[in-house]
């Protein structure tokens, strides 16, 4: 198992943990399938009224799609399978509140998950960045999701600067991506505390509010997502060239702001 799901029946809070710390919690196809199954399981568990999403280990919340994942693609140019498009709770019709607890790196495909959580609590070690452009890839779905959570200029800078910059927890809090920066090591506990408070309220009102908040932006997101496959197909370098650029990356050399 690359995913851990625990639930406290007394508080009504479930914790979903990405559990591949040796791979910086990168999402392979197994974890993708486990995430889809977890969100769907939580839809039917009425004892769970709020959810916390976090990553195992200290180094990363999630670093997106595992580079070693083999993603079969249809032969038709009119069809493209994005392996992460359905990894989030709202993509699986889960309208229970989901709070993210982030420590360490959150980058690239991690934004598929963060973009579908309701708010983010961060450890001071949290660092957000989007390396797509560095490796000859279009940041489409990730940028579209973040454009609904961050000021346009901040999203543009993060996407276009690629792996040259990382957004600190402090800066992420200043621009509204993160709602709270905790003491070191305190992000998960703080997120669970928030979720427990929410779980104590009548579920109907809470879930209706989650649905209403998402409704305020889903029309724009649906329209944007319709453009994403074409932009990716046009702008992405061939997979072999992407791999060359990734292999040539250097440790460090980035600015934290």
Q: pLDDT tens for residues 100-136? A: 999 999 999 999 999 999 999 999 999 999 999 999 9
Domains and CATH numbers, the chain: 3-186 (3.90.226.10)
Q: Please, which pLDDT band fits residue 2 given cuts at 50, 70 and 90?
A: very high
**From the CB of residue 45, how many other CB atoms can be counted at a distance below 10 Å?**
14
Mean pLDDT of 197-208: 98
User: Can you tell me which residue has the tokens 């932009």?
Assistant: 231
**Which uninterrupted H or E stretch holds 58?**
none
**In angstroms, rounded to a whole number, what is the distance separating the alpha carbons of residues 129 and 123?**
15
Instruction: Read off φ and ψ for residue 235, nearest 5 degrees.
Output: -100, -20
The reported pTM is: 0.95
Closest CA to 38 of 4, 78, 72: 4
Quote the strand ranges of 117-247, DSSP E. Answer: 119-122, 127-129, 165-168, 180-181
Q: What are the C-alpha distances in Å from 79 to residues 38, 76, 91, 162, 238?
A: 27, 6, 19, 27, 17
For residue 256, the model assigns a pLDDT of: 94
183-193 pLDDT tens trace = 999 999 999 99
Instruction: Read off φ and ψ for residue 201, nearest 5 degrees.
Output: -90, 160
27-71 pLDDT tens trace = 999 999 999 999 999 999 999 999 999 999 999 999 999 988 777
**DSSP class per residue in 5-45:** EEEETTTTEEEEEE--GGGTT-B-HHHHHHHHHHHHHHHH-
């Amino acid at each position: 198992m690359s995913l851990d799901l625990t639930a406290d029946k007394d508080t009504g809070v479930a914790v979903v943990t990405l559990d591949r710390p040796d791979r910086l919690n990168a999402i392979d196809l197994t974890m993708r399938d486990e995430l889809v199954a977890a969100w769907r399981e939580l839809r039917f568990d009425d004892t769970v009224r709020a959810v916390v999403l976090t990553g195992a280990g200290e180094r990363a919340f999630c670093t997106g799609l595992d580079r070693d994942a083999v993603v079969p693609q249809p032969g038709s140019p009119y069809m493209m399978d994005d392996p992460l498009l359905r990894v989030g709770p709202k993509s699986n019709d889960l309208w229970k509140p989901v709070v993210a607890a982030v420590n360490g790196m959150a980058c690239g495909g991690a934004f598929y998950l963060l973009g579908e959580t309701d708010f983010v609590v961060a450890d001071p070690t949290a660092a957000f960045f989007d390396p797509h452009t560095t490796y000859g890839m279009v940041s489409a779905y990730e940028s579209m999701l973040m454009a609904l959570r961050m000021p346009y200029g901040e999203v543009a800078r993060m996407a276009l600067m690629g792996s040259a910059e990382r957004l600190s927890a402090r800066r992420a809090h200043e621009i509204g991506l993160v709602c709270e920066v905790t003491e070191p090591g305190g992000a998960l506990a703080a997120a669970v505390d928030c979720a427990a408070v929410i779980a104590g309220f009548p579920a109907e009102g809470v879930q209706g509010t989650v649905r209403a908040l998402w409704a305020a932006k889903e029309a724009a997101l649906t329209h944007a997502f319709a453009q994403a496959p074409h932009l990716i197909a046009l702008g992405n370098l061939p997979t072999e060239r992407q791999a060359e650029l990734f292999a040539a990356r250097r440790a460090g050399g980035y600015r934290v702001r």
